[in-house]
Each structure stands twice: as structure tokens, then as C-alpha cells.
Copies of this chain bind each other. A is one copy, B any other.
Amino acid sequence: MVNQRSGAPALSDIPDATVARLPLYQRALIRLRDDKAVTVSSEELAQLTAVNGAKVRKDLSYLGSYGVRGVGYDVEYLLYQISRELGLTQDWRVLIVGAGNLGRALASYAGFATRGFEVVAVLDSDPKLIGQRLPGSETAVASATDLEALVQELRPDMAVIATPVEVAQQICDRLVDCGIAGILNFAPTVLQAPDHVEVREVDLGLELQILAFHEQQRQHEASNPETAEIDLRTSIETVRSAR
């Protein structure tokens, strides 16, 4: 859709659903490499990522033809191609706003560092937290009042919001005004931002709510007998007792 002008190299017509799976493949390939695997078939990769085999092949075909028929994909080469596509051959600078339990956990989260994300600052507005050193980090918690100056100075590529919900939108606005165009939001609210800014919402409670929904379904199914006859009887009884 985007970028259909000219004969220039097609700047990513990769579907969103595929982009969201590339990190999954990357993770699996890293493990395969660590296990000294040289090649991998689409079916193996599918098994490791719980994705359909045809879908794996389709996804990878968007990046180009990096497989060999009858053989599979070269682990090292495919890993490089995916990492390049995801922009992980460069390091990304991340600013975290909010040094509560979650903010601090994210600041020292190994999964960021190992994937090329450097936490350049952690901000908070609580005087008790400002100045505190974070375990496993060089920098101390900075004051949220300095947000603009710090963005200016440290040039983060993206920001993480881990503040209370009450201030999240205001922090978002300030980040956008500073020119930040990628925001990962953990506050349980949908942030309003201009179109050119990408906001990804992660709501940890929401994930549990979805689990609860399906758990409830299971409970209903267990108490609701499986056969049509009994279901029918139950619904007649329900109608009767409702009168």
C-alpha cells in the first residue's frame, strides 16, 4: 500500500501480522544457532514458534528468497536477514518514564539489553526515587521535570511509559512534542497521539482478563451438559422459572 511509487527498492510492504511474527522467528533462530544447527526447514521453524508451516514460508518470502528447495534455510543467514529487516543490526536508545515496580523491572530486563535496546534514562517525579541507582544500570533515576532536556541530550529513539494512568497522557504529549515517534505504553489507558506516532499498548491486566474469559467458558461448558436434549431441557426450565 505504502510506497508504490517508482522502481525504488520496495520500502516494506510487509504485512503487520508478518512483522509481529519476525521477532518470534528470530528468537527461534538464535536458539537454533546456539544449538549448532546449520539449516532449518519451515516445518521445524513452525513447530518452534507454534505457527503454521505455510505461514512461515509466506512470511519469509516477504523478505526475499533466502531458502533452498529440498534443503531449508541457512540458520545464520536467515537470522541475519531477519535481524536486518527488524533493524536490530543497530542499537536503539530507550527512555523509560516511571520508576515504580514495573519501570524498575523493565529497566533491568535482560530481554531488552540482549536484543539491542539500551536504556539511556529512567525518569520519575517522586523525590524519594530521584537519584536512586538502579541495579544493573549505570544511571540514576532522573527527574521527570527534566524530560525535555534529557530527550534533547540523550536522543532516545523510543520511550516506554510505566507511570500511573493519571499522568500517562500528559507524559505522552510531552514525548511527542520532543519528537519521539515510538511509544510503548504500560499504563492502562489508550493514549491519544498524532498519526505519525506509533503507540503500542501493553496491558498486563487485560491479558489476564482474556484468560479469565476463556476460563469462564470452560466452567460453563463443564456445568452445561454436552448433549442437545439436556441443553434443551435446561433452557425450558430457565424459561419456566423466569415467569
Contact = CB atoms under 8 A, between A and B. Distances in A.
Interface stretch (A72-80, A146-154, A215-223): A215-223
A71 interface: no
A208 B115 contact: yes
A235 B9 CA distance: 7
State the number of copies, please: 2
Interface in A1-44: 3, 5-9, 11-12, 19-20, 22-24, 26-28
Interface stretch (A53-61, A83-91, A124-132, A170-178): A83-91
Contact of A190 (B8, B48, B189, B213): B48
A200 interface: yes
A15 to B, nearest CB: 12
Interface residues of A, number: 80
A141 interface: no
Contacts of A214: 182, 198
A231 B181 CA distance: 25
